[in-house]
Structure 1
Amino acid sequence: MQKWEYATVPLIVHATKQILDQWGEDGWELVQVILMPEGNLVAYLKRPKG
């Protein structure tokens, strides 16, 4: 069975692409972006463990 590790990453609006590109280069896959009540964006990412 595949095992996963997860990360929660705050996103800065003017640097969203650069942040996600960097995490993608490190093997992370974007699962979802949430708009928090305070107006902040948070990305949830996963990658295979191992």
Structure 2
Amino acid sequence: MTTWEYLTAPLMIHNTAAILNNWGKQGWELVQVVTGPEGGLVGYFKRPADAGAGQANTGLSAAAEASRQFEGQ
């Protein structure tokens, strides 16, 4: 039986494709996008629990960098 791990993350509108592509390269599958409690978009992802073994979390790094750029830092 497949076991899953999950990730929820905010999606920056101006850099969504790059962020989603990075997560996809790590084996994350986008399951759903919903409006977050403060109005932004939140992505829900899943991947088999053993898919991320030995991989850096470049998708999260890309999201953090996009956030810094958006905020002008």
TM exceeds 0.5? yes
Which SS does the other structure have where 2:38 is aligned? coil
> Which residue of structure 2 aligns with residue 17 of structure 1?
17
Over alpha carbons, which structure has the higher Rg? 2
Q: Structure 1: which amino acid aligns with 2:30?
A: L
Q: Distance in 2 between matches of 1:44 and 1:17?
A: 15
Q: Which runs of 5+ in 2 are unaligned?
A: 51-73
Structure 1 stretches of 4+ with a deviation exceeding 6 A read: none
Q: Distance in 2 between matches of 1:45 and 1:10?
A: 11
> Which residue of structure 1 aligns with residue 35 of structure 2?
35
Q: Structure 2: which amino acid aligns with 1:45?
A: F
Distance apart, 1:39 and its partner CA: 1.4
Report 1 or 2 for greater relative contact order, CA contacts < 8 Å, sequence distance ≥ 6: 1
Distance apart, 1:48 and its partner CA: 0.4
Number of residue pairs the alignment of both structures matches: 50
Question: As a proportion of its length, which structure holds more strand?
Answer: 1
Q: Which runs of 5+ in 1 are unaligned?
A: none
Which SS does the other structure have where 2:47 is aligned? strand
Q: Percent identity?
A: 58
Distance apart, 1:37 and its partner CA: 3.8
Q: Give RMSD over aligned pairs.
A: 0.8
